[in-house]
Structures are given as structure tokens and as C-alpha cells.
């Protein structure tokens, strides 16, 4: 079975379900849970979910994130939660589950500095140090997220990108980096989609390659006196390294927005009061 092929793709004529480079876009109604369950149930998979939560963000969001993820993220499959915290963070108490493992990872770098640099630098070290040997697929998400429905194996792929809830439907004046000297630059007239930086996923080494590309871009920009955003660097990476699977806005809906008719089932919401 080709896991990049989604049964039922043409049952959603109201949305984009296949990209120009033939990567599926996952919406409710484009996949068969029973078929995927039988296929992946034989694979003996372990999926990782990494989240960074420090200081006040841990206090505000970590318990909601963990409780909802424990219920809805890859239900029925082995999951390793990688919780990247500082010494000030307290983990919520969760019911024991033989399919759920929780690992607390020390943060590398200055937690008072750039959030994304801290997160990605630390995650890269942990992927090389042990994660690549522990899981088959890895997701990294921001902690200001509440899972509401099944976030399942339909999302698995070699390189997974999340479509941005606002910019997917607006689809004009996309906020790509346009300064030619920036490593994140996508020239005017070019670009595919605008991706949400709060979710990335894929095979662990694919995630590592993305992180390395981001860090190289930041270093390049710093030397040139530029400071583009993490999300713009991410969009440049996916423009030049096409993702093999895209998640619809249903998988990262913004609570500040009213879901349009195309959004059939919100899998997770991103709380909008704290900006990542």
C-alpha cells in the first residue's frame, strides 16, 4: 500500500485534495479509517510527539495539550511523548497506558532567547541522540493546542506539512519572505501554499533535515543582518523540498476563526491568544 495515496480523494471536490506534485492533502472524507487501521495495525509502529513547554507556557497550556493528546493523538498505537521542559515546568498526572510513554527532555540553549531556535536546536540534538532509533514517525507541535478528535495514522508520511488555517482560505497577499538577500526568500509570483509552523512531521531524519535547513537559513540571515521568521523559513524549505503529505486546516484550526463549510471535522485547535 502506498501510504501517500488517499482513498476517497475525489469525494471532496470543494477543497484541494492533491497538489501539483501529487502529494495528498488530508481532509475528513478523503480516507478510510478501517483500511488504514488494518494496514498500519500490522506495521508495529511507534510514533513520537515532541512539544516544547517552558515557564508560563507550560503553566498555561501543557496540561490541556497532554490530556487531549493522550486521548486523541494516534489512539491505539504506541506513542512516545517527548516533553521538552525546563526545571520550572511541572508535568500533569495522567492515567497509565502501556501504549503511552512519556519522556522529559532537557532543553539545550537559552530558554529566554528565540523560542523556535531553542526548540529546533534541542529537537535536532535529541533526534540524533536517540529519537531516530525510538520511533518510526515524529511530529513536533507547539503546546498551545487542544486535540478534539482523532489525529490518526492518515497523517503519517515521510515529510508532513500543515496548511495554515487562515492563509489557505484567504490565498492572497501570502506573507512569504520577499527580501532577496534572505535565505527564506520566495520571489514574487512563486510559492505553493502557506504552511503553519506549529506542526511538522515525518520520518525522524526527514524532520532533522528540515531543522538543519532552518538553522542554516537563520545563520545565513544573521550574517546578512536579517531576521526573518521561523514560519517563513519553513515555507521556503517546503517550497524547495516538497512535502509528501499535507494536512488540511482541520488538523490545526485557529480558535479565533469560525470554521467554514469546507471544514467538516476539527481534529485540533490552536489557541490564538499566545503567539508562537
95 is in an annotated binding site: no
Name the catalytic one among 154, 206, 231, 250.
231
Say how far apart CA 233 and CA 48 lie, in whole Å. 23
Set of cell numbers at residue 149? 478528535
How large a percentage of the chain has pLDDT more than 90? Answer: 78
What are the pLDDT digits (tens) for 22-61? Answer: 999 999 999 999 999 999 999 999 999 999 887 788 888 9
- For residue 138, what pLDDT band results from cuts at 50, 70 and 90? very high
Which DSSP letter does residue 273 get? S
The answer to whether the beta carbons of residues 234 and 200 sit under 8 Å apart is yes
Set of cell numbers at residue 12? 471532496
Active site annotation includes 231? yes
- HSE at residue 118, side-chain half, CA atoms within 13 A, is 19
116 is in an annotated binding site: no
User: Which of 1-5, 102-106, 200-204, 205-209 shows the lowest mean pLDDT across its residues?
Assistant: 1-5
So where are the chain's domains?
A: 41-268
Question: What pTM did the predictor assign?
Answer: 0.92
What angle do the packed helices 204-223 and 230-240 form, to 10 degrees? 120
The CA-atom distances, in angstroms, between 21 and each of 228, 231, 239 are 27, 22, 11
Q: Which CATH architecture has domain 41-268?
A: Alpha-Beta Complex (3.90)
Amino acid at each position: 500500500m502506498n501510504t501517500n495515496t488517499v482513498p476517497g480523494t475525489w469525494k471532496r471536490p470543494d477543497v484541494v485534495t492533491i497538489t501539483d506534485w501529487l502529494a495528498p492533502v488530508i481532509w475528513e472524507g478523503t480516507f478510510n479509517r478501517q483500511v488504514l487501521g488494518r494496514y498500519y495495525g500490522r506495521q508495529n509502529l511507534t510514533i513520537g510527539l515532541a512539544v516544547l513547554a517552558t515557564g508560563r507556557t507550560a503553566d498555561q497550556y501543557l496540561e490541556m495539550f497532554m490530556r487531549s493528546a493522550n486521548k486523541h493523538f494516534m489512539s491505539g498505537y504506541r506513542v512516545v511523548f517527548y516533553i521538552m521542559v525546563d526545571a520550572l515546568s511541572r508535568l500533569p498526572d495522567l492515567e497509565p497506558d502501556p501504549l503511552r510513554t512519556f519522556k522529559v527532555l532537557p532543553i539545550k540553549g537559552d530558554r529566554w532567547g528565540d523560542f523556535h531556535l531553542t526548540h529546533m536546536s534541542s529537537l535536532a540534538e535529541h533526534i540524533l541522540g536517540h529519537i531516530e532509533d525510538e520511533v518510526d514517525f515524529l511530529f513536533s507541535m507547539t503546546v498551545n493546542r487542544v486535540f478534539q478528535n482523532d489525529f490518526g495514522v492518515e497523517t503519517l508520511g515521510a515529510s508532513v506539512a500543515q496548511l495554515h488555517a487562515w492563509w489557505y482560505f484567504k490565498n492572497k497577499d501570502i506573507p512569504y519572505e520577499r527580501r532577496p538577500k534572505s535565505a527564506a526568500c520566495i520571489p514574487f509570483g512563486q510559492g505553493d501554499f502557506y504552511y503553519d509552523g506549529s506542526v511538522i512531521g515525518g520520518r525522524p531524519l526527514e524532520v532533522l533535515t528540515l531543522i538543519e535547513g532552518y538553522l542554516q537559513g537563520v545563520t545565513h540571515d544573521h550574517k546578512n543582518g536579517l531576521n526573518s521568521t521561523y514560519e517563513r523559513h519553513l515555507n521556503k524549505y517546503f517550497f524547495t523540498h516538497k512535502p509528501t503529505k499535507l494536512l488540511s486546516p482541520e488538523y490545526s484550526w485557529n480558535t479565533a476563526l469560525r470554521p467554514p463549510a469546507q471544514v467538516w471535522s476539527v481534529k485540533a485547535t490552536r489557541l490564538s491568544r499566545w503567539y508562537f
